[in-house]
Amino acid sequence: MISVRVRYFAGHRDIVGQAEQQMALEPGATVGDLWGLLVERHPRLAGYSGRLLFAVNQEFASPATTLHDGDEVAFIPPVSGGV
Amino acid sequence: MISVRVRYFAGHRDIVGQAEQQMALEPGATVGDLWGLLVERHPRLAGYSGRLLFAVNQEFASPATTLHDGDEVAFIPPVSGGV
Amino acid sequence: MSDFRPFEITDRPLDPAPLVAYVQTPGDGAVVTFAGVARNHFGGRPTAFLSYEAYAEMAGPVLAQIAEEARARWPIGRVAVHHRVGRLAIGETAVLVVVAAPHRHEAFAAAAYVMDRIKEIAPIWKQEHWADGEAEWRE
Amino acid sequence: MSDFRPFEITDRPLDPAPLVAYVQTPGDGAVVTFAGVARNHFGGRPTAFLSYEAYAEMAGPVLAQIAEEARARWPIGRVAVHHRVGRLAIGETAVLVVVAAPHRHEAFAAAAYVMDRIKEIAPIWKQEHWADGEAEWRE
């Protein structure tokens, strides 16, 4: 198993109820696999599928990106910086 | 005769050698008539014909504008405000 | 200015002066400053205040990356972007984008582009706190 | 700010802060500031300094008229324009155009438009003083 740190922001954090958590995954798991797992646990996240961005270690990533032990994964709900 | 005050700026002032002057004109004279008179006196002004703006009493005017006693007339060489 | 950073996420009030001083070099004829400020309504509904949150460790580098995109597209000089987080009263500045360039058209185009891209990809979120007491994330 | 005028020709150094404070109202989400600054070359030829002259009695009202044109074209708020005259060192600001608007695209478009129109009709002239000692009016 590998361990990754997951960060939640804005609407995601409101749904998940925490700003970050450590999660254990099968080796070879992808960003998309992790998102699927989270949507199972928190069905209200499903509304974000298809309209979120992904980051691994603070760089943009895709659902196909493979995760490694120690990675920091962020699920980025639709951004709204500026005004 | 009517008397008008003529203002010169930038390249015009360099050619005419003064920033303003009082000029006597026939009643009914237009802005274009006055410009023609000035070009006769200062042939180097001819290079500005067709590429200058005109103002009477600090508002934009045309060569056809008729002048009246006491008017302030400005011949505006190509402007270059800003940077 | 010893601790000045051109791309920054901060919870302190924003001031354009150090950004302008940073971007401007002797070859520049144009400096465009965009300030995004908290306004008192959205779609006709009165707003009491705004709050912003950022993925700060990532947002700063993303702002720098957006500036590089702009520099690859237009012949511009330096770019600086500061974005505020936390609670903002109406009239307070949420974001400053400052672009210097030899000529003005490129400075305008690049500043507008940087702002468009911030709204597309910078990991920063705005929560609208309505005058009636409700709050919602803009998504 | 008691002697602040939104449209002004002045021989004093320009500061954007009072213009920004003047234009911004609670309904505005965007403030765009354009600064035109004296740069150290033109077409590759080194510039020592610039000097500006204006038909001041007319130029102030023309700046106000240009702002009205912009307000007729875009849903924007207040506009302020200050233009400097006299001798300017490299890096000094010759003109400030500041536009507030509810939304940023209109603020950008209007600020660019105001600057374009200034260069078309405002009775203000720039003299380039080249590093080699020559001087010429830009026409």
Could you state, in order of their start, the residue ranges of all structural domains in chain A? 2-76
D75 shares contact with chain A (CB less than 8 Å)? no
Mean pLDDT over residues C6-32, rounded?
97
Cβ-based contacts of D37 with chain B (< 8 Å): 83
Angle B55-B58-B59 (CA atoms, 0-180°, nearest 5)?
Answer: 60
State the CATH number of the domain containing residue D69: 3.90.1170.40
A82 shares contact with chain D (CB less than 8 Å)? yes
C19 to A68, C83, D29, D40: CA distances (angstroms): 39, 12, 20, 21
Would you say residue C137 lies in a domain? no
CATH code for the structural domain at A2-76: 3.10.20.30
Asked if this assembly's ipTM is beyond 0.90, the reply is: yes
Would you say residue C94 lies in a domain? yes
State the sign of the Cα–Cα–Cα–Cα dihedral C119, C120, C121, C125.
positive
Cβ-based contacts of B80 with chain C (< 8 Å): none
pLDDT at D138 over 60: yes
Tokens of A11: 């609407």
Tokens of C59: 């947002």
Domains: count for chain C: 1
Q: Which residue has the tokens 């240009």?
A: D66
Chains C and D touch, contact meaning at least 3 pairs of CB atoms under 8 angstroms apart? yes
Distant-in-sequence, close-in-space partners of D30: CB < 8 Å, separation ≥ 6: A83, C34, C35, C36, C37, D100, D101, D102, D103, D104, D106, D107, D108
CB C100 within 8 A of CB C25: yes
Cross-chain Cβ contact D26/C32 below 8 Å? no
A79 shares contact with chain C (CB less than 8 Å)? yes
Mean pLDDT over residues D70-75, rounded?
98
Q: By residue range, what is the domain housing residue C112? A: 7-132
What's the burial of B32, exposed, middle or buried (CB within 10 Å: 0-12/13-18/19+)? Answer: middle
D112 shares contact with chain C (CB less than 8 Å)? yes
Would you say residue D89 lies in a domain? yes
Coil/strand/helix, residue A42:
coil
Gap from D111 CA to chain A (nearest CA, Å): 18
A23: closest CA among A57, A58, A70, A65? Answer: A70
CB D106 within 8 A of CB D75: yes
C24: closest CA among D91, D111, D40? Answer: D91
pLDDT for C139 equals: 85
Query: Given pLDDT bands bounded at 50, 70 and 90, which one contains residue B75?
Result: very high
Mean pLDDT over residues D54-59, rounded?
97
pLDDT at D1 over 60: no
pLDDT at B76 over 80: yes
Cross-chain Cβ contact A79/C119 below 8 Å? yes
| pTM score of the predicted model | 0.95
Q: Give tens-digit pLDDT for D74-105.
A: 999 999 999 999 999 999 999 999 999 999 99
Would you say residue D36 lies in a domain? yes
Q: Give tens-digit pLDDT for D8-25.
A: 999 999 999 999 999 999
pLDDT at D116 over 80: yes
Query: Given pLDDT bands bounded at 50, 70 and 90, which one contains residue D107?
Result: very high
